[in-house]
Amino acid sequence: MKIISVQIYGFGKWSDASFELNQNLKIIYGNNEAGKTTLRAFIASILFGFATKRTPFEQYCPKDGSKYGGALKVETTDGRFIIERIEGDHGGKVKITEEQTGQIWPESFLEKWLGPVTIELFREVYFFDQDSLQQIGLLEPEELEKSLLSVGISGSQRVFEMQKRFQKKADEVYKPTGRVPVLNKLLKLYNQKKQAIAEMRSKTSIFNEISQDIQEKLESKKSLENQLKKSENKLVKLRKAQSLWPIYIQYQELKAKKTNKTNEAEIDKAGYQELRELVLTLTSEKKMLQLAEDKIESLIQEKQKIESANLDYYNLHEDEFKNVFQLLDNKTGTVQRLDQLTSQLRDLQQERKRLIQRNNWQDDMLRSFSQIDGKHLLFLLEQNNVDESRMVKNESRSGQRSRRNKIVKESKAYPLLLGGSVGLLLLVVFFTVPFFWARGLSLVGLLIVVSWLFVEFFNKPAANKEPLSSTKTNIDEIKEVLADANCKMSYEVLSASRADLQQWFELTDKISTCHTELLDVEEQLTQVKKETIFCEEKLLLSMNIVQRVEQLQAYRRKIAPAIREQQEHLHLINYYENEKKKRLDKITPLTDEMAQKLKIYGTESITDFEAKYAAQNDEAADDIKLESLKQQLDLQIIDVLKTNQDLSEIEQKSEAAAKELENEKRRLSELITFITEKRVRLEQLGQYDKLQMMEQDLTNLQTEIVDQAENWVAFNAIKQWLKRILELSSQNTLPEVIQLAEKYFSRLTNQHFKQILLVKGSLKLVSNEKINYEVGELSRATTEQLYIALRFAFIVKANKRYRLPLMVDDAFVNFDKQRKENMISLLKEISKETQVLCFAVDIEPFCDKVSEEEILTIG
């Protein structure tokens, strides 16, 4: 692909701008902040898509509000096209238009032109700057050599950096001589706990005997578990061999026929590519299906791990517990009222107790109080107190009352005379006035006057009433009440303690009322006791309703986190089940479509189709296919496949291995039962609790050690896998890259170095004086030139299939004049096959080396 021109609608600082790049080598010159980096980011965004909101600083949204996007005019093997991309979902809306006809082409052609290159791979391989060269200079000699090999193999340092990162993770988990790594600490703690358990087991003879039995069975269990793992591995290999049998047969057939040629009709390239894309899509969907199935299985296993005995019991009685918890929610007010009454009753009883202690009332006195009508007794005492007060007042007022009666009698003559006169006047009005309303008013007034005269005439001064007889009667009645209740308290003491006695009766009434209401509330909560009979024994519920409610609430709080976690796992399982169904719905039509296309070409399977197409290529293509099949069959699976004649034999062995695995699981279950029974016996001896906790801690520690060990093995396996990738790639791809890089390196070093040798995975540099140099012996500048030579060689080789432009951004600012001239000469040579876009802030080195058409000034 060659970029002819750039049209920017709106991107960062650029708005309504266009640039012509119709040269194989284009020097794009501009000062700082001129927009060179924005132009480079625009080209990558049109090809691979705009950055998302997750990386806002890479979006380059227009500052002036113009339309976000633009277009590239490109030249491909299919002709000239305009690739337009504007703002939209999933990296923007893409439109591909053929320049000559104006026909709209599918977006899939952009993927075809880009091939397997992603935006990340494009940035790592097809673009580099001064930072890349500086990173090379910071590496140690051994790391530098690995990094250069990674560049020669993949065009970038990704494989080397991944290998280095996984080595660091492995060292964080375990080092043979380390103390800080996690696994080293766990192993030391394991030995300490194991020694402590051994000391505990040696305390008593019986304990030791049973412990010895348990230990022997544990060793048998461990041996059986190891055998179980071997049987599982054997079964996995057999089943994997069973599933890979068709691939193995294909591998054997292709191996036997790889030197044979075929004369059948050819399959056109477009049809082959179309079917291959369909196969890749189907394989991708199947992988996604497998990922969903693996995730479901993993979630189910995690769900089983989080389940405890309490949660198992809850799940077994889930409906009953839901009813109980719903009942507790409905009875929340009743439970709170029960707590209030209980607290109130306790406070009243304590207050009454303090009152009794203050008055020193004995039990016989309290019994007599309980037989007395408290309200009546207090009424008599109150009445007697009032009468006594009244006696004192009457004695002081008796003299005054006699004089006042005499004055009253004399003063009554004047009102009677006045009232008689008014009555007579009203009587005259009644008989003489002819108006009815006036007669009615006079009649009413006459009645009022007569009534008033009657009251005044018959109202005599009150006689002096002596309360002595009433007071005496109250005292006698009080004593009689005390005698009936067999109360030995005298009247004088009783009268003096009247306030405390009144408080005692009030507290007694309140206690009785509170106790009665408490019984009513407890009666309302009897349903809780009935509904929880099923779990009474399991949860050790109290017969006291208050304690029982508290125990139920505590159990509810205890299992709530586990229930939530279980529900979350169920939700995730349902989600991945839906994902699994979606993948199956996609796989079925894709499989049918692939079967129809295979039938068009007269083949029944993709293997036959591949074989038919492979027969049209030369022997090298057969070797590539054979190597691909070999990678799918690891050495262990091939050994298993070789020992079987046909698929039925593998199936029989697989069934036999499955039966053996079930027998071993059954024996393991019996051992676990025996160990459990013996541990129960130890618990009866009274020493098992501590040992059980120690053994459980040891078991948990073993699990954690196994997990960390698996992590360490995984990190080392990935590191070895990456190393193997480098070795395999160095055997296939690297020699061709080194051959071309050797030519570039010689030019960049003014013919000082003539050869680059690959000896046992290491690079050797041979000078014109036939002296061999290690990578670590090179100077900083020479190392950078070797890096550039390998990088350019890989890009030129990769562009034999996918032609993408090479972008260089001020990568030679530290080179001297001669090296810059050599680099420019090399770029001009590479540009004959690969378009080179060189961004620079200094145009002087290029002025007399390139034409004016090859220089673009921006900013």
Spell out the domain ranges in the chain: 2-124, 131-170+726-857, 204-264+615-686, 373-484
**What pLDDT is recorded for position 619?**
59
First to last CA, the chain: 26
DSSP state letter for 644: -
What percent helix, strand, coil does the chain show, rounded to 5?
Answer: 70, 10, 20
How many percent of the chain have pLDDT more than 90? Answer: 4
Alpha helix stretches (DSSP H) within 126-204: 130-137, 141-154, 158-173, 182-201
* Cα–Cα distance for residue pair 17/42, rounded to 1 Å: 12
Helices and strands, number each (H, E), in the chain: 30, 14
**What pLDDT is recorded for position 213?**
80
Q: 3-state DSSP call for residue 228? A: helix
Report the predicted TM-score, pTM, of the whole model to 2 decimal places: 0.38
* Cα–Cα distance for residue pair 803/831, rounded to 1 Å: 11
Tens digit of pLDDT for each residue in 586-605? 888 888 888 888 888 778 78
Residue bearing the bigger pLDDT, 430 or 188: 188
Tens digit of pLDDT for each residue in 773-784? 887 778 777 877
Greatest mean pLDDT among 358-367, 522-531, 537-546: 537-546
Backbone angles phi, psi at 7, to 5 degrees: -125, 115
Tens digit of pLDDT for each residue in 491-534? 667 766 777 777 877 888 888 888 888 777 777 677 777 778 88
User: b/e map of 767-792 (b: 16 or more CB within 10 Å)?
Assistant: eeeeeeeebeebeebbbbbbbbbbbb
* Cα–Cα distance for residue pair 575/571, rounded to 1 Å: 6
Among the listed ranges 236-240, 354-358, 455-459, which one has the minimum average pLDDT value?
455-459
Residue 647 pLDDT class (50, 70, 90 cuts):
confident
* Cα–Cα distance for residue pair 183/175, rounded to 1 Å: 8
Q: How many CB atoms are located within 10 Å of the residue 642 CB? A: 10
Q: Write the DSSP string, 301-330.
A: HHHHHH--HHHHHHHHTHHHHHHHHHHHHH
Helix/strand/coil (H/E/C) assignment for every residue in 711-734: HHHHHHHHHHHHHHHHHHHHHHCH
The conformational region for residue 692 under phi > 0 = left, psi -120 to 50 = alpha, else beta, is alpha
Tokens of 563: 């229930």
List the beta bridge partners of residue 8. Answer: 17, 70
In single-letter form, the type of residue at position 340 comes to Q
**What pLDDT is recorded for position 85?**
92
Tokens of 33: 């902040």
808 has a pLDDT exceeding 70? yes
Task: Specify the DSSP element, H or E, that contains 59.
Answer: none
User: Taking the mean position of all CA atoms in its chain, how far away is CA 712?
Assistant: 25
- Fold held by 131-170+726-857: Rossmann fold (3.40.50)
818 has a pLDDT exceeding 70? yes
Residue 746 pLDDT class (50, 70, 90 cuts):
confident
Tens digit of pLDDT for each residue in 127-151? 777 776 666 555 554 454 455 555 5
**To which residue do tokens 């591995």 refer?**
233
Instruction: Tell me the mean pLDDT in the region 325-329.
Output: 79
User: Taking the mean position of all CA atoms in its chain, how far away is CA 142?
Assistant: 41
Strands 762-767, 2-11: pairing is unpaired
Task: Specify the DSSP element, H or E, that contains 19.
Answer: strand 14-20
Residue bearing the bigger pLDDT, 553 or 452: 553
Q: 3-state DSSP call for residue 613? A: helix
Q: What mean pLDDT value characterizes the chain?
A: 75
Residue bearing the bigger pLDDT, 636 or 341: 341
Residue 243 pLDDT class (50, 70, 90 cuts):
confident
**What pLDDT is recorded for position 209?**
75
**What pLDDT is recorded for position 392?**
47
* Cα–Cα distance for residue pair 520/542, rounded to 1 Å: 20
List the beta bridge partners of residue 98. Answer: 81
824 has a pLDDT exceeding 70? yes
Overall residue count recorded for the chain in this entry? 859
Residue 98 pLDDT class (50, 70, 90 cuts):
very high
Q: Write the CB contacts of 772 (distance below 8 Å, at least 6 apart in sequence).
A: 757, 764, 765, 766
How many percent of the chain have pLDDT more than 70? Answer: 71
Instruction: Tell me the mean pLDDT in the region 32-42.
Output: 87
Tokens of 136: 């090379």
CATH topology agreement for domains 2-124 and 131-170+726-857: yes
Tens digit of pLDDT for each residue in 205-223? 566 677 778 888 888 888 8
List the beta bridge partners of residue 764. Answer: 757, 774
List the beta bridge partners of residue 483. Answer: none
User: b/e map of 201-225 (b: 16 or more CB within 10 Å)?
Assistant: beeeeebeebbeebbebeeebeebe
Residue 405 pLDDT class (50, 70, 90 cuts):
low
Q: Does domain 2-124 have CATH number 1.10.150.120?
A: no
Name the CA dihedral angle for 374, 376, 378, 383, rounded to a multiple of 10 degrees.
180
Task: Specify the DSSP element, H or E, that contains 701.
Answer: helix 688-732
User: b/e map of 436-456 (b: 16 or more CB within 10 Å)?
Assistant: eeeeeebeebbeebeeebeee
Note whether 461 and 404 are within 8 A (CB).
yes
The conformational region for residue 602 under phi > 0 = left, psi -120 to 50 = alpha, else beta, is left
Tens digit of pLDDT for each residue in 751-771? 888 888 766 667 788 888 888
**C-alpha atoms less than 13 angstroms from C-alpha of 301 in its C-beta half-sphere:** 6
83 has a pLDDT exceeding 90? yes
Measured at the CA of 558, the angle between CA 553 and CA 561, to 5 degrees, comes to 120
Measured at the CA of 705, the angle between CA 702 and CA 707, to 5 degrees, comes to 110
* Range 157-165, long-range pairs (CB < 8 A, 24+ positions): 157/124, 158/124, 159/722, 159/725, 159/726, 162/718, 162/722, 163/719, 163/722, 163/723, 163/726
Task: Specify the DSSP element, H or E, that contains 4.
Answer: strand 2-11
* Cα–Cα distance for residue pair 440/447, rounded to 1 Å: 11
Minimal CA–CA distance to 764: which of 751, 754, 752? 754
Minimal CA–CA distance to 10: which of 61, 55, 50, 46? 61
**To which residue do tokens 């004593």 refer?**
479
**What pLDDT is recorded for position 155?**
46
153 has a pLDDT exceeding 60? no
Task: Specify the DSSP element, H or E, that contains 10.
Answer: strand 2-11
* Cα–Cα distance for residue pair 616/601, rounded to 1 Å: 14
Residue 727 pLDDT class (50, 70, 90 cuts):
very low
